[in-house]
Structures are given as C-alpha cells and as structure tokens.
C-alpha cells in the first residue's frame, strides 16, 4: 500500500485576471500570448460565488457551498457582490433574499448575519477570491500573488475600494481594478481594429452595465458608462419565480415566502427554466412542498418569459440610449456591439440589440468567460514591460464633490472624467485658532448632499492657530487609475502638511484591512497545519482499517514473519495516532506501508485470478457494495 | 486649422536628451519636471493656444500621448516613477478638460488674455427662459419630453459654439495686429464671455436632465 506524495517542486509565479462575479468567479491567465481560463483539477473553470457557513462557523466556498443551499438555506450566501461597499439602506429586495442582512458594527455598511455571527461583504468576497485562487494554484502548480480584478463600470469608489480590500484580505496584490466591459472588449481583440466605437452590453447575474469605448491605434478609451448595480440575471430568475407563483393563492404564496427552503427551490427551478428557455419554446416546472402543503405546476412559454422580462429589458435599453446621448452619438455610429454575461444568452436580449443597432452583437466568445480573459490580458500587460500592448483610458463613473454649508455640494470632479485625475479645493477656518476642519466627501449626480452617496469624512488636523479665515488649506483629491480616491492636504501660508483622519462610510480603514489580513494569515497557517494533520490521520486510519481487513481475510496467504511485521507496524501507528505529531504519523504510516506490500502483491495475484471468475475487485477485497471505489483500486495496483 | 495644432517648441529631457511627449515628465528615462506644473494647458498638450481646433486634434493628441505616457506603461518601473507618471498623466487629463470642450477652451483663452472681465451679463430674456426650463426640469417630465429637451439643448450649444468661432476670429485677428485693447477686440471678448456664461446655463440644464436619468437605477 502506498501513500501518494504531493509533487514537490518550484511552483510557477504567475499574474492572473480574476472576474469576481455576482454568481460565478473565474481565473484566467495568458499562456503563450493567449488568454485561457484556468480550470481546477476536476476541469471546472467556474467557482460559484457561493459561501456556505455552518452553525460552528466553518465555511465552504464554491460548488460544495452551492450543493448545501437546500440543506443550509439560511447559511448559504449568494450575490455577495451586491453588498460590496453598500449600506443597509441601499439594498432593495431584501424579501427575495434567503439570508439576513444587518448593519455592520463599523460604519454604515451592510453585513450578513449567519448563525449569530456578522460577516462583512469584503471578508466574504475574500473567501471567494481565496477559493478561486487556490483552485487555480493547485490545478497547475502555480503561485498567484498578483492579479487584475474586474468590477462593473458603474461601481463607485466605495465599491471599488471594497473589492480592492477583498483582494488584499485574500493575500493578492491587486495590480488594477478594471471595468468589466473594457476587459470584454480587450478579450475580443478589438484593440487590433484601427479605430471604431464599441458598445459593451453586460448583463451579468446581478449587475447591468453599458459602456461605450472608443479605440484608436491600440488605445482604448471608455467615453461613457452607465449601469445599474441592482439589475441582472437574478432579476430574470425572480421574474420567472413571480410567473411560477402567479397561479397560487395568497396564503400559499405567503407560506412559500415564509419558508426559506421552498424559496431556494423556486429560485433554482426558475434559473433552470431560464436556461431551458434559451433554446426551448416552453418548459414545465413541477414542485412539491410537503412541509407547507403546497404543490406547484406551471408551463412557461418563451413568450411568457419575454413578457415577464420585458420591463427589465426596457430598463437596459434606456441605459443604452443614455450612454449614446451622453457621448453625443447615434446608434449608427457604433461599429461593434459586444455581449457579456450569461443573461445575454437569452435570445430576446440579442434580438433587441440587433434591432437597435442594425447589426448582430458579438457572441463568439463564451459570455461568462470573456471578462476574465480580458482581465488576464491586462494583468499580463501590467506585469510585463508595458510596451506594445493596448492601453486603457478609463473614466470615473460618478461625480465627486464635497458638502458645503447648508447641505449643498460642490462638484470637484465630474462624471466620465478620465482617470487618473486631480482636483484641488481651498478651505479655511470659521473661528479664531481653529486647528481642524471637517470635510464630507460625496459621490453622485444630484445636487443635495442628502441625496448623494457618502464616501467618507475627512478631518484635517494640525492647522496652525491663526485668525478665522486666515489659513489656506489646500486639499487635493486624486482619483487614481483604479478609480479609487486619495486625499491629501496642506496649509499654504505655513506650509504645514495637515494630517487627515479618514472615516470611510462604507469601507474599511487601512488598519481594519490590515487586521483582517493578519487574521486570515494566522488562520490560514493554523488551518493548513490542522488540515494536514487531519489528512494524515485520515489516511493513516484508513490504512489501518484496510490492513486489519487484509490481515483477517487474506493474512493466510503470506508467511508468519510478514504477518508479525504488519502487526508490529499497525501497533506502532495506532500508538502515534493518539498524539498530534504529524511527522511521526507519517513515518509510522510509511513503515506500515512497507510491511503490507507483500500482502498487497499476494492479494493482487488473487484479484487477477478471481476476476476471471466474474468477481469485481471490490468484492475480492471484501467490499459488499456493488461499486468499486477509486481508492480501492489504487490500494492494490500500487504495489 | 492644422497649422495651429502643434506647438513649435518641443522639449528635450535634460537627463537623456530625448524628445519628451510632454514637458512635465520624460517618457524615456522617467525624469520628472515638477517646476513645469504651472504651465498652461495648451503647453502641456503641445498645442498652440487657439480657439478653432477640431475635436479630432484633441482625440489624436490624447491617444498619441496615452500610448507613450499612460501610467500603466510605467507600472513595472518602480513605485516612484509610476506615481510620477500618474501625476503627469493626470496633468494631461486636466489640460484636456480645460481645452477640449469648446466652451472650456474659450474660457481658458479668455482668462489668459484678460483676467478681470468675468462679469459679462447675459440677456434678461435668456435668464427668464432658463428659469422656465429649470421649473420644467424639476417636474417629472415624460421621456419623450426629456428627449426633446435634450435635442434643444444640443442645438443651442451648437449655435453658441458657432458664435464663439466668430468672436474668436475677431479677437485673434486684433491680437495679432497688436491691438488687443482695440474696440473690436474688446467687444468680441465681452461677447465671447457672454456666450461662455450662457453655455453654463445650458450645460447645467443638460446635467440636470442626465442626472435625473442616471438616478433611475
């Protein structure tokens, strides 16, 4: 018997692009100049952005978490991206969510309550990033340190910052946060076109974006972008759910809405129906909820579906008209239309776009993978020497301003300004010897501070004591290439650099991020140690079990001396298994393995002999079950 | 107009003697020239200060500069140089913001030529018209009406731009004749200021219209 050893070798340090999606996340890298989605050992390219947390607080992420959705409905978290950098008040549709959203302990941001513990969206997204990263690393023996992460073009500063923090918590050096539509245009290699205008229509799981890009000789410029952070494929699913439930009576509907298991089941059925309706003309959904005594059967035609999503499609087309207007362009001026996001598989979406622009949209690349592919290209470019590749010129999606006396706002940077960009504003004091000034930074298009999104409050300190109105504090707002705001300040008459205390409204302070990184590293190390020990123990225990079985059933086929050796090795292993010494367990396992080798080879001969008589390997090895486990086969074939 | 699109002097780097894309930062060796930060926006872009410049000239200039200067190209050249490239590029963005839009360009040129007269008044009738427009914008108007309003605003701005072209023809002619203070020149300048002010009202209305649409999500 043999323990499989992990291949130890130099792992390859690579940069990747990560599409941190609302429903799914993907990792891609460039191999020989070609962007490729990294598959894990099981050939899975997609990590579902799903987390399942059990009552003890243990979390699993991805496919496993998705499988637990029905068993653990209140602890299975989906669509985390919707809460990134958001406050509790921003979140609509709380009724459609099977889990609880509460106010976080710090700031105004939303947190998710699972089995009595609060989790921040950044922490949860970091878990998804970590899982996606680990899968890719293990599958291809890679080491991922640096990455480009994509966000919807319409993400504001707080949302971008939250994404960046999630990356940092997951131990990733985030090279750039880039816009999903830009990544998509890159993936299509549209930068090789001499010049043109590209409209990217991105209807993902939970967000909708539309962007206009202008390209000239390898330089991409986002000229206008808009979107809706609360519209996506999930809403298509909800529209189907509403159709499914439309025949039910009011009490039946109430019963379903009060039962998170039933809600989950309806959501899953709706998603399947949506996928079926991309190719079929109609589909029938049948669900039985014994617990609440409700049965549901409904046939949905493609027409029903198109009617149900009609208002959603109208919303997206309003946004399309809006960007065209903002860029002062007509539909005829658009040279290419690119579809991104799984929801663009819905034929009605493609038809609407073809009709609006008089040309077929690009759908050659998998709309679920195209963003990750483009991000990988950008990551490669940023990590390389930066020559000869496409350059992205991004714009800030929302205006930035500061609150003025009386609740008004002064806009310092207008929406759709190219980034990086700087703006400066002078401040002074109101009373004599005032040494601090508070500044409230806001983002959005409306005119009153109360209607805008608060990014944070800055307090300038260390202003030299002077008469009121004398100090001239120059504050510089700098939006960097990632669309993230940095603030610095200087008192001009004295030259004193004012210090700034930042209280982000929705994000985390640097210290909080550091703490989270440290916590995750501490835990990661503990986790790895604990996992390795548990793995070794499990392996050793199963080896003991098989050895004991082999000795009882097949011991007679080997000489007494060998049997004694096996007995001694088994006793030694049992002894060390009481403790937690990983190396000792490993060594004792190895000794047992050597001692049982002769039995295994004798058994192998036996297997070969009896298989001829129509018995399976499993049966020969004493298994009662009809199926042969892969590990059983290994056990004999290795020796 | 093309003869005005490039400034005559180009800058060479003191360190490596190469020709620089912008005067602020050497895109060959990464040397920074912070003392040149105060340069006017036209100088940053390497353009002759002049009103009648086609949109395409700015687009081409931006794209050409991006290919050489954009901070992404400098990401792997060390943190300090990358930061300087970011600052240089943000200066290019600021310069574009002050010159690309015809009304911003007019304001930049007028402020340079004459720093006192920012007080030109707009006609009374225009103000009343704007007040009515504002009231209408505050009410929830139908999407058809919004579209129509947007069209009107675009048409009015186009007309104002046409007027600016005429005013600047006179301003620039009187400047080159060395009589900037001449009557025709002064009158054209005052008229140009009025147009700039009027454009602000239309721009605000346009923003209000778009802001409303952007909030729809």
Round the average pLDDT of chain B to a whole number and report it. Answer: 81
Interface test with B, best of A213, A398, A445 (most B CBs within 10 A): A445
- Residues A449, A402: contact at Cβ < 8 Å? no
Q: Which DSSP state fits B25?
A: B
H/E segment holding residue A440 = strand A437-443
Strand partners, A435: none
Mode of pairing for the β-strands spanning A46-48 and A59-61: unpaired
Please check whether residue A415 touches B, CB under 8 A: yes
Report the gap between the CA of A445 and the closest CA in chain B (Å): 5
Query: A587 CB contacts (<8 Å, ≥6 apart)?
Result: none
Round the average pLDDT of chain A to a whole number and report it. Answer: 80
Q: Which whole number is the average pLDDT over A474-486?
A: 81
Q: Which of A217-226, A363-372, A500-509 has the lowest mean pLDDT?
A: A500-509
Residue A319 pLDDT > 50: yes
Catalytic residue among A19, A165, A259, A336: A19
Report the gap between the CA of A531 and the closest CA in chain B (Å): 37
Sheet order of strands, A51-53 included: A59-61, A51-53, A76-77
pLDDT band at A264 (very low <50, low <70, confident <90, very high): confident
Query: How would DSSP label each residue in A52-94?
Result: EE-TTS-EEETHHHHHTTTTSGGGEE--GGGGTT-BGGG---G
Q: Which of A130, A129, A86 is nearest to A111 (CA)?
A: A86
C-alpha atoms less than 13 angstroms from C-alpha of A206 in its C-beta half-sphere: 20
Cα–chain center distance at B160: 15
Q: Which of A485-494, B148-157, B162-171 has the lowest mean pLDDT?
A: A485-494
Q: Which whole number is the average pLDDT over B59-64?
A: 85
Please check whether residue B210 touches A, CB under 8 A: yes
Residue A625 pLDDT > 80: no
> Token pair for residue B29?
């060796």
pLDDT of residue B169: 92
Please check whether residue B89 touches A, CB under 8 A: yes
Query: How would DSSP label each residue in B112-177?
Result: HH-SS---PPPPHHHHHHHHHHHHHHHS---HHHHHHHHHHHHHHHHHHHHHHHHHHHHHHHHHHT
pLDDT band at A494 (very low <50, low <70, confident <90, very high): confident
pLDDT of residue A193: 63
Q: Which of A95-104, A279-288, A517-526 has the lowest mean pLDDT?
A: A517-526
Cβ <8 Å between A386 and B75? yes
Query: A314 CB contacts (<8 Å, ≥6 apart)?
Result: none
Considering only CB atoms, A480 lies closest to which of B86, B94, B211, namely B86
Buried b or exposed e, range B148-165, using 16+ CB within 10 angstroms? ebbeebeebbeebeeebe
pLDDT of residue A390: 66
CB < 8 Å from B in window 438-457 of A: 445-447
Catalytic residue among A131, A137, A165, A180: A180
Q: Which of A30-44, A100-114, A544-558 has the lowest mean pLDDT?
A: A544-558
Residue A19 is a catalytic residue = yes
Structure confidence by residue, pLDDT tens digits, B4-28 = 445 546 788 888 888 888 888 888 8
Considering only CB atoms, B76 lies closest to which of A230, A325, A386, namely A386
Catalytic residue among A40, A66, A81, A214: A81
pLDDT of residue A507: 66
Strand partners, A421: A479
Residue A483 pLDDT > 80: no
CB < 8 Å from A in window 7-66 of B: 59-60, 62-63, 66
pLDDT of residue A7: 38
pLDDT of residue A50: 93
Report the gap between the CA of B68 and the closest CA in chain A (Å): 9
Residue A202 is a catalytic residue = yes
pLDDT of residue A521: 58
Neighboring chain B residues of A381 at a CB cutoff of 8 Å: 72
Residue B144 pLDDT > 50: yes
pLDDT of residue B215: 40
List the single residue in B with minimal CA-CA distance to A219.
B63
Considering only CB atoms, B73 lies closest to which of A230, A391, A420, namely A391
Q: Which whole number is the average pLDDT over A530-542?
A: 72
Residue B64 pLDDT > 80: yes
Catalytic residue among A165, A191, A202, A209: A202
Strand partners, A339: A201
Q: How many CB atoms lie within 10 A of CB A261?
A: 18
Structure confidence by residue, pLDDT tens digits, A434-456 = 888 888 888 877 777 888 888 88
**More confident of the two residues A159 and B67:** A159
C-alpha atoms less than 13 angstroms from C-alpha of A217 in its C-beta half-sphere: 10
Neighboring chain A residues of B59 at a CB cutoff of 8 Å: 214, 216
pLDDT band at A194 (very low <50, low <70, confident <90, very high): low
Q: Which whole number is the average pLDDT over A29-33?
A: 88
Q: Which of A230, A179, A186 is nearest to A208 (CA)?
A: A230
Residue A609 pLDDT > 60: no
What is the C-alpha separation between A317 and A298, in angstroms, rounded? 30
- Residues A205, A233: contact at Cβ < 8 Å? yes
What is the C-alpha separation between A554 and B129, in angstroms, rounded? 102
pLDDT band at A635 (very low <50, low <70, confident <90, very high): very low
Please check whether residue A82 touches B, CB under 8 A: no
Query: How would DSSP label each residue in A362-389?
Result: B-SS-TTTHHHHHHHHHHHHHHTT--SS
pLDDT of residue A610: 45
Residue A70 pLDDT > 90: no
Please check whether residue A226 touches B, CB under 8 A: yes
**More confident of the two residues B185 and B196:** B196
pLDDT of residue B99: 94
pLDDT of residue A218: 73
pLDDT band at A28 (very low <50, low <70, confident <90, very high): very high
Residue A81 is a catalytic residue = yes
Q: Distance of CA A456 to CAs A423, A446, B132, Å?
A: 17, 17, 36
pLDDT of residue A125: 96
- Residues A232, A204: contact at Cβ < 8 Å? yes
> Token pair for residue A291?
């617990």
Structure confidence by residue, pLDDT tens digits, A131-151 = 999 988 888 888 898 999 999
Q: Which DSSP state fits A345?
A: G
Query: B168 CB contacts (<8 Å, ≥6 apart)?
Result: B51, B52, B106, B109, B188, B192
- Residues A295, A287: contact at Cβ < 8 Å? yes
Put simply, whether the predicted model's pTM sits higher than 0.80 gets the answer no
Q: Which DSSP state fits A330?
A: -
Residue A613 pLDDT > 50: no
Residue A230 pLDDT > 80: no
Residue A48 pLDDT > 70: yes
pLDDT of residue A579: 82
pLDDT band at A617 (very low <50, low <70, confident <90, very high): very low
Interface test with A, best of B24, B25, B45, B63 (most A CBs within 10 A): B63
pLDDT of residue B117: 56
pLDDT of residue A582: 81
pLDDT of residue A337: 94
**More confident of the two residues B159 and A95:** B159
Report the gap between the CA of A386 and the closest CA in chain B (Å): 4
Q: Which whole number is the average pLDDT over A452-479?
A: 82
Cβ <8 Å between B71 and A328? no
Q: How many CB atoms lie within 10 A of CB A480?
A: 17
Neighboring chain A residues of B150 at a CB cutoff of 8 Å: 325
Torsion of CA A38, A44, A47, A53, to 10 degrees: -140
Q: Distance of CA A562 to CAs A3, A541, A589, A592, Å?
A: 20, 20, 16, 11
ipTM above 0.85, yes or no: no
What is the C-alpha separation between B36 and A365, in angstroms, rounded? 47
Q: What totals of helices (H) and strands (E) does chain B contain, helices first? A: 7, 0
Q: Which of A105-119, A135-149, A158-172, B135-149 has the lowest mean pLDDT?
A: B135-149
Instruction: For chain A, give the number of residues.
Output: 639
Residue A477 pLDDT > 90: no
Torsion of CA B202, B206, B212, B216, to 10 degrees: 180
Q: Which whole number is the average pLDDT over A1-25?
A: 68
Highest mean pLDDT among A58-72, A341-355, A423-437, A614-628: A341-355
Q: Which of B131-135, B177-181, B185-189 has the lowest mean pLDDT?
A: B177-181
Report the gap between the CA of B115 and the closest CA in chain A (Å): 20
What is the C-alpha separation between B114 and A584, in angstroms, rounded? 87
Cβ <8 Å between B217 and A319? yes
User: What 3-state DSSP class applies to A639?
Assistant: coil
Residue A178 pLDDT > 50: yes
């Amino acid at each position: 018997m043999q323990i499989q050893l992990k291949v130890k070798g130099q792992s390859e340090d690579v940069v990747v692009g990560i599409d941190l999606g609302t429903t799914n996340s993907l990792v891609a890298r460039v191999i020989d100049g070609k962007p490729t989605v990294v598959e894990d050992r099981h050939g899975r390219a997609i990590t579902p952005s799903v987390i399942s947390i059990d009552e003890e607080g243990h979390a699993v992420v991805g496919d496993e978490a998705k499988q637990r959705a029905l068993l653990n409905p209140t602890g299975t978290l989906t669509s985390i991206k919707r809460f990134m950098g958001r406050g509790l008040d921003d979140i609509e549709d709380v009724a459609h969510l099977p889990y609880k959203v509460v106010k976080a302990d710090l700031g105004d941001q939303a947190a998710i309550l699972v089995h009595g513990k609060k989790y921040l969206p950044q922490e949860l997204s970091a878990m998804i990033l970590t899982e996606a990263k680990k899968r890719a690393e293990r599958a291809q023996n890679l080491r991922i340190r640096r990455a480009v992460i994509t966000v919807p073009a319409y993400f504001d500063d707080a949302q971008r910052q939250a994404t960046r923090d999630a990356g940092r918590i997951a131990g990733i050096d985030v090279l750039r946060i880039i816009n999903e539509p830009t990544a998509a245009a890159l993936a299509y290699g549209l930068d090789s076109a001499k010049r043109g205008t590209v409209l990217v229509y991105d209807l993902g799981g939970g967000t909708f974006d539309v962007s206009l890009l202008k390209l000239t000789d390898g330089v991409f410029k986002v000229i206008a972008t808009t979107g809706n952070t609360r519209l996506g494929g999930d809403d298509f699913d909800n529209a189907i759910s509403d159709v499914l439930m439309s025949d039910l009576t009011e009490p039946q509907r109430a019963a379903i809405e009060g039962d998170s298991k039933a809600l989950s089941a309806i959501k899953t059925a709706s998603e399947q129906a949506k996928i079926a309706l991309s190719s079929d003309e109609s589909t029938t959904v049948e669900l039985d909820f014994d617990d609440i005594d409700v049965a549901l059967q409904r046939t949905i035609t493609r027409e029903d579906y198109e009617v149900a999503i009609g208002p959603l499609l109208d919303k997206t087309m309003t946004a399309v008209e809006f960007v065209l207007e903002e860029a002062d362009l007509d539909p005829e001026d658009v040279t290419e239309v690119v579809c991104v996001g799984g929801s663009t598989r819905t034929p009605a979406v493609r038809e609407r776009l073809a009709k609006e622009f008089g040309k077929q949209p690009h759908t050659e690349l998998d709309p679920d993978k195209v963003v990750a592919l483009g991000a990988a290209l950008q990551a490669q470019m940023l990590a390389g020497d930066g020559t000869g590749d496409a350059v992205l010129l991004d714009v800030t999606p929302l205006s930035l301003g500061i609150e003025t006396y009386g609740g008004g706002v002064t806009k310092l940077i207008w929406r759709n300004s190219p980034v990086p960009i700087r703006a400066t504003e002078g401040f002074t004091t109101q009373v004599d010897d005032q040494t601090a000034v508070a500044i409230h930074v806001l983002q959005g298009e409306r005119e009153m501070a109360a209607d805008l999104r608060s990014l944070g409050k800055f307090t300038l300190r260390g202003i030299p004591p002077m008469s009121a109105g004398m100090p001239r504090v120059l504050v510089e707002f700098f939006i960097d290439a990632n669309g993230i705001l940095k603030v610095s300040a200087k008192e001009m008459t004295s030259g004193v650099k004012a210090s700034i205390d930042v209280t982000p409204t929705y994000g985390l302070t640097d210290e909080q991020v550091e703490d989270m990184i440290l916590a995750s590293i501490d835990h990661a190390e503990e986790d790895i140690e604990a996992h390795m020990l548990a793995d070794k123990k499990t392996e050793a225990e199963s080896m003991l079990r098989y050895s004991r079985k082999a000795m009882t059933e097949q011991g007679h086929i080997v000489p007494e001396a060998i049997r004694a050796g096996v007995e001694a090795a088994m006793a030694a292993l049992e002894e060390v298994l009481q403790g937690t010494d990983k190396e000792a367990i490993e060594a004792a396992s190895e000794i047992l393995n050597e001692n049982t080798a002769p039995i295994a080879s004798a058994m192998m001969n036996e297997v070969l002999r009896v298989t001829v008589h129509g018995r399976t390997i499993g049966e020969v090895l004493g298994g009662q079950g009809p199926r042969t486990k892969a590990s059983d086969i290994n056990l004999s074939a290795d020796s | 107009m093309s003869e005005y699109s490039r400034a005559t002097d180009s800058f060479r780097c003191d360190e490596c003697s190469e020709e620089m894309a912008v005067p602020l930062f050497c895109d060959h060796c990464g040397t920074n020239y912070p003392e040149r930060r105060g340069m006017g926006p036209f100088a940053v872009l390497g353009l002759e200060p002049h009103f009648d410049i086609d949109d395409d000239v700015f687009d081409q200039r931006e794209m050409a500069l991006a290919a050489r200067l954009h901070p992404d190209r400098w990401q792997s050249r060390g943190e300090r140089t990358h930061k300087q490239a970011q600052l240089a590029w943000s200066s290019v963005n600021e310069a574009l913001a002050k010159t690309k839009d015809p009304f911003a360009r007019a304001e930049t040129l007028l402020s340079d030529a004459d720093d006192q007269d920012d007080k030109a008044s707009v006609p009374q009738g225009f103000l009343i018209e704007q007040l009515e427009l504002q009231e209408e914008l505050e009410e929830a108007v139908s999407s058809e009406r919004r579209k129509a309003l947007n069209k009107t605003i675009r048409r009015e701005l186009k007309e104002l731009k046409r007027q600016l072209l005429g005013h600047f023809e006179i301003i620039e002619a009187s400047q080159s004749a060395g009589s900037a203070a001449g009557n025709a020149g002064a009158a054209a300048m005052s008229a140009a200021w009025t147009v700039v002010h009027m454009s602000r009202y239309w721009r605000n209305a346009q923003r209000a219209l778009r802001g409303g649409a952007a909030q729809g999500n």
